[in-house]
Structure 1
C-alpha cells in the first residue's frame, strides 16, 4: 500500500488512506470523482465528445500508465471501470497494481493477479491462461507485466474512440473468453470513428506476448501526435467555415434580389416626366482620389498604422495560427505531469 501512497501524478488517483468496515480487508479511500468511470462517462457523453477531446482523454491514460511503469509499478487490471473522469474531463487511473496491494495485506499473488469479473474484455490473453499448460500439476503463474498493461491500453483506446466497450456485441463474458481463445480481436470499427493508422496501432498493442508491443513512451507519443493532428484538423474546419460565412456575408446582392434597391429601377438613368435627365456636370462629380480636392482620402490606403502613425509590416500583425499554437500548448498532455 505504501507504493500507492508514494505515487504523485495528475493522471493517477491519489490514495488518501484506509478504513475498516467494508469487508475482511481494509478499504482504500480516494477522492470522489463526479463523472465516474470511463465506461459510464462514454455511455453518457460519447456521442458529443469531439475527436480532440477523445484523444485528450487517451493522452491522460497514456501519461498515467507511462508514469506507473517509470515507477516500476504494473497496473495489472487497466480497464474502463478502472479509469475515472474528474470534473474537468481529465482521466485518472485508479485501482492499479491490485495484486501488489493485496500481497502486502497477506493475499496471494497468484490469486489476485487474475483480473476480476467485468474487466475481462480489456485483459491480455496471457493473463487468462486460455491454453492448457504442459505441466497441469505445476501451471505457470500469470503475472501482469508492462506488456499486458499496453495490451489493455489498446482496448481503452478502442473504447474511447468508438464509445463502446470491447466486444460490445457479446453480452456474456464466456463469449468474450471464447473469442479471445480463438485469437479473435474486436471487430474493425468504421473509418469515421477509427482511421487505418489508429487501428494499426491498436493491432500492435494486441500483438502476441512473444512479439514486441509498444512501450509506454510510444503510447504517449502516439496520443500526442493524434491530438495535434485532430486539433489542427478541427481548427481548420472551424476557420474554413468562418471564412466561408464571411465571404457569403460580403457578397453583393443578386440582381433584382431583395437586397438590390438600385438594379433594374432606372436602367437608363433617372427620368423627368418620361424624359432622360442629363447627368450632372463633371464639376459636380466627387474629386479624383489623390487630387487637392480630395479631403476625404482613405487614411488606411497604405496599410495599418501603429500608435505613432507609422506603417506596420504585414508579418508584424497577429496570425490566426498563433491561436492554434496556444490551443495545442494548453491541450497537449505533458510527457510526465508529476506534481
Structure 2
C-alpha cells in the first residue's frame, strides 16, 4: 500500500477564551476535536461543512501554521507534530498552501517573479539566471506569460492572481497542497479554468490535495474522497461517488439536499435542519448533531458515536446508520 503524503490522528485544536484584566481562561473553543484522516499521493480529499466547523483550522494545523493541542501529524512518514521552527523548516517545502483571497495572499510590493522566486531563494541554492528561468517556466505552466514576472499583483485579474498563487505553491515541488476555498472568490467561468489547472497539475506531478470548500458542485468536480465536518469532528468519510449517491449521515444528506442543481426541471426534496448551530465553546453532549438531527433518539443525546467503517472506504459517525 502506498504511504500517505500526510496522515493525522486524533487531531485537536482548542482555543482558550480569556476575559478580565488578568486574562483568565473562562472557557475553551474546541475548533478541531479528534480529526483522523490520510491523503495518498495523487489524491484529492475534499473537506466540506458549514462555516465555522473547523475546516480551515485543520488545513492550517496540517501545515503547522498553528500548533495543535493534541493528536499527531505525519508528513511523508515523519511526525512533525511537536517540531520547533528550525526542525520544521526542511519539511515545509513538502507542503504548501493556496489561499482563498488571491490578492491578500500576495505581497503588493513584490513583482510576480519575486513572489514565485522567493521560495526558491529560501530553499534552493540556484544561480539567479536558473531561478529566473524556473520562475518563467512555472508562470507559463499555470497559464501566465513569462513577461508577467515583471508585473505587480494589482496588475492581474482575480483569476490571474490565483494562478500566480498556484505557481508559488508549485515552486518547491511539494507533495501536498492545501487549497483553502481556492476558487470561491472567482467568477464561475474562471473557477472551472483554475479547477482544471489543478487537476492537470495533479496528474502530471502526483500532488495530493486537501481541498477545503463549502461548494458541493466544486467538490463533485475535483474530489476523489470527501470528508464531512460538523462542529470540529468528521461525521462521514467516503469516496465522492458514494457520498453523492448514498450518504449515510443525516447531516451529509441535508448538505447534499441543499446544494443547487443546474436543471430547472429537476425537483429535490429539501431537508430543513431546525435550530441554530451549537457553539464549539459548549458543544452538546453525546452526538453533536443531535440538537438538529431529524432522526435523533435518546441514545444520541448521551453517547457520542464513533467514526466507524460501514463499508470499504466508507466511515460514518451515527448510531442509527449501519
Tell me the TM-score normalised to structure 1 length. 0.25
More strand by share: 2
Point out the structure with max Rg over C-alpha.
Answer: 1
Tell me the TM-score normalised to structure 2 length. 0.26
More helix by share: 1
